[in-house]
Amino acid sequence: MIAAAFDSTARFVWSRNRWILLGCAAAYAAIFIACQIWSPDQIHRSLPQTTIFMRLAPFFVPLLVLVGSVNVATAQLGGRESFFPRLFYTLPIKAHEMVMPFITYCVALTAAMWLAGGLISDWRILMLAPPGTPIEADTVSYWLPFLITSGLVWFQVLAWTPVTSGWIRICALIVAILAHFFAVFLCAVGTVTPNEVVVVSALQIPLAFLMATRAVARDRWGVSHDDARRRAAGSEPSATREAKAARHHPLRAFSGALVAQAWFERRIQRWSGVGLSVLPLLLLAILIVLNVVNTRMKNPDLLGIVARLALTMFLWSLIALGAANGFLYASFRSVRRWQYKDVFAMPSFFATLPMSTGDFVWVKLTSVTTRMLWFSGAAVLACGWIALSAGLIDFDSGLMLALRQQHGDFNASMMLALPVCAFVLFLLGCTANVMSLSLGGRAWNAPNAINLTRYLAFAFGAAAVAIYWGRHHAPPAGLAEVVRALAIVKLLTLTLLVRHVGRRGLMSWRRLAAMLAFWLVTFGALLGAALTLLPEGQILWSTLVACLVLLTPVQGTIAAPLALHLNRVR
């Protein structure tokens, strides 16, 4: 029977993850061929990404396979139920026979990938030391695969264990991750030996197996569901809890459909906003603590380093928040209800509401813009505070003094604020573009295909120009003409798009005008920032304008009503 369980699990895992596994095998094969042509050491030096890929793949590929096999989206881990595939529950096998193949395959896959990667790269993937360090037993971190395998099997256990509240699972996951990081730290500082890490990690596998078997057995017989219901209810009767919830969220009288829809958007994104704010807030908390420590210890160097790091992280987290919010607001579902296939499909309930597609898009655009303005405002204030408290802004620097003398204190401050405004506006446009990509509901539809082609062409073009510029220390001949021509093409397609959306009645002309006005303001801010920051005469006025026309995101926003229309009407 156990052989049959292994066989059916293998088929199940393969059917759900064959593209991931084949893709990874292809990448390994490519690296293997490359290692036959050049030495692994040469590849490691000239293309360090291959080693990074092989270091990460044995962790991420089994994780992806786990996620694919048990149908767990990261956001769904916040749910209460077990994510063990239900179809196994009806098979005539015991819980341990269900669990064993999954854990065995996870361990085997991780081990196989580490071994294959090690053999291909001459064990470079296990080298945590800098390049050039001799490969000896001491420098090869052979304990790492064991530790990571332990982390993966615990991930399985947590995904399969039903909980009374999603937060319990999330907290348990954080604790497990921190515990494994702590083990790395202890090993690095020498508190524990690598062999001790190997032994303790290896012992985690049978322990995790026992825990997983218990969780799956309880879930299979519904014991955990009963427990969960009873514990969730506690001593409080459900009617009291519901009445409390009703008092907490009293009914609002909506003056119209747009107001109601805006309320809906706020409600479904409430927790995602809290979740997205956690990382920057943590960072800010660390900085506040450091600032307090700094004032007592008088160690400006430490604060300066950390502040620079924090500013960079704030900048990147703001960009990541823009992308995340773009995706979140494209959906009509709360993030906790996201499923694989229908995340962005418009539910029939909303599709049949008597509200125009343009109105739905308008509410989404204004909601996401409002949230991003809050995030951006908070980030700008936090960054300003960090920079000022760490002494990173010097009002008496050469540039500032020149600006203050030329334009006066107030105007000089405004000129410096302009790049910040331009960045925020640019970010808002990018967020709307990301939202528009997902509003289509399907990965492949006409607007998405056009957008993807546009982005790829832009990325490849920019990369080609950068490579040429790097080699020849000058831009390619005719680049300015190409940029100007592309800007004209963009403006022409934008005109056609606006005309198409307006004529089909997908968005009112007034709102289209508002969108274009926003774009013009962004463009103006970027132009102002460029004129402030760029030295005079370095770039032709027409080329600068063309560059900024290409850079300012607008098509995605204008195409958003068309994308949602294709989602609503199939």
Partner 1 sequence: MSVESNGASRPVVEIRNLSRRFGAAEALADVSLSIPRGVVFGLVGTNGAGKTTLIKHAMGLMRAQAGSVSVFGLDPVSNPTAVLSRVGYLAELNELPEWMRVEELINFTRAFYPSWDDRYAQSLRQNFELEPHKTVGALSKGQRARLGLLLALSYRPELLILDEPSSGLDPLVRRDILRAIIKTIAQEGRTVLFSSHLLDEVERVADRVAIINGGRIIQNDDLETLKSSYHRVVFRFGSAPQAMPQLEGYFNWQGGDRHWSACYRGDVEQAGKLANAEIVEHTPLSLNEIFLALVSSRGASRGEHA
The residue ranges that bind partner 1 (CB under 8 A) are: 239, 242-243, 245-246, 249, 251-257, 259-260, 263-264, 267-268, 333-334, 336-337, 347-349, 351-357, 504-505, 568-570
Report in angstroms how near the CB of residue 166 gets to partner 1 at its nearest: 13
SS3 393: coil
Nearer to partner 1, 18 or 267 (CB): 267
Report in angstroms how near the CB of residue 247 gets to partner 1 at its nearest: 10
Report in angstroms how near the CB of residue 564 gets to partner 1 at its nearest: 11
Residues 6 or more apart in contact with residue 413 via CB below 8 angstroms = none
Report in angstroms how near the CB of residue 452 gets to partner 1 at its nearest: 22
Report d(CA 466, CA 474) in Å as an integer. Answer: 10
Residue 154 neighbours by CB distance under 10 Å: 23
Report in angstroms how near the CB of residue 242 gets to partner 1 at its nearest: 4
Q: 72 with 160: CB under 8 angstroms?
A: no
Report in angstroms how near the CB of residue 246 gets to partner 1 at its nearest: 5
Nearer to partner 1, 237 or 377 (CB): 237
User: What are the beta bridge partners of residue 140?
Assistant: 127
Nearer to partner 1, 474 or 569 (CB): 569
Q: Which of 131, 138, 178 is nearest to 154 (CA)?
A: 178
Residue 276 neighbours by CB distance under 10 Å: 19
What is the token pair recorded at 42?
Answer: 């040469």
Report in angstroms how near the CB of residue 240 gets to partner 1 at its nearest: 10
**DSSP output for 119-159:** HHTTTGGGB-SPTT----TTTB-THHHHHHHHHHHHHHHHH
Residue 135 neighbours by CB distance under 10 Å: 14
Nearer to partner 1, 152 or 268 (CB): 268
Report d(CA 46, CA 365) in Å as an integer. Answer: 45
Q: 232 with 164: CB under 8 angstroms?
A: yes
What is the token pair recorded at 566?
Answer: 């294709």
Report d(CA 21, CA 38) in Å as an integer. Answer: 25
Report d(CA 246, CA 238) in Å as an integer. Answer: 12
Nearer to partner 1, 354 or 478 (CB): 354
Report in angstroms how near the CB of residue 353 gets to partner 1 at its nearest: 5
Nearer to partner 1, 333 or 490 (CB): 333
Q: Is the dihedral of CA 535, 541, 543, 549 positive or negative?
A: positive
What is the token pair recorded at 239?
Answer: 């009617």
Q: Is the dihedral of CA 124, 192, 173, 69 positive or negative?
A: positive
Nearer to partner 1, 245 or 278 (CB): 245
Report in angstroms how near the CB of residue 324 gets to partner 1 at its nearest: 20
Q: Where are the beta strands (DSSP E) in 296-381?
A: none
| CA 130 remoteness from chain centre | 29
Nearer to partner 1, 126 or 268 (CB): 268
Nearer to partner 1, 253 or 278 (CB): 253
Nearer to partner 1, 349 or 410 (CB): 349
Report in angstroms how near the CB of residue 558 gets to partner 1 at its nearest: 19
